[in-house]
Homo-oligomer: A and B are copies of this chain.
Amino acid sequence: MNIGDVAKRAGLPPKTIRYYEEIGLIKPLRGPNGYRAFREQDLHKLAFLSRARTLGFTIEDCRTLLALYADEGRASADVKQVAQEHLGQIDDKIAQLKTMRDTLSELVRCCAGDNRPDCPILNDLAAEV
C-alpha cells in the first residue's frame, strides 16, 4: 500500500503519517522506487494512533500505549493508569474552560451590543489590579 491508500483507510493525512514515521511510531518498509510500502500491521498501528489521538492522548502517551499493546505480558493496570492520568487532565481542562465560559457568558449577557461605547466586557478587562 502507498501512503495515499493508508491515509484514506486510517483517516489520517499523509503528512501526519510521514511525521509518525519520522518520530518512530511506525516503521513502514520501502519499495525500490523509494515509496513507503505499508503492511497491514502498519495500517493497524495507524488506525490505533488515529483513535488514540481522537481520544486526546498525547503522542508520548500513544507511544506508551502502542508499546503496551505490543507487550503480551502487560498489566492492564499500566494501561489504566495512562488513561486515568489523561482523564484527569481532560477534567482539569474542562473545569478551566467552564470557568472561562461562565465569566465570559456573564459579561456577554451584560453587554448591550449596540453602537454605544460603554461595555462591561472592556470594563472587566480593564478593572484595576
Contacts and interface: CB of A to CB of B under 8 A. Distances in A.
B74 A125 contact: no
Interface in A43-66: 43-44, 47-48, 51-52, 54-56, 65
A83 B104 contact: yes
Given A55-B100, A83-B121, A98-B94, A75 B107 contact: no
A36 interface: no
A124 to B, nearest CB: 7
A103 B44 CA distance: 21
A80 to B, nearest CB: 4
Given A83-B108, A90-B101, A125 B52 contact: yes
Given A90-B101, A93-B97, A117-B74, A80 B127 contact: no
Interface in A70-129: 71-77, 79-81, 83-84, 86-87, 90-91, 93-94, 97-98, 100-101, 103-105, 107-108, 111-119, 121-122, 124-129
Interface of A: 9-11, 43-44, 47-48, 51-52, 54-56, 65, 68-69, 71-77, 79-81, 83-84, 86-87, 90-91, 93-94, 97-98, 100-101, 103-105, 107-108, 111-119, 121-122, 124-129
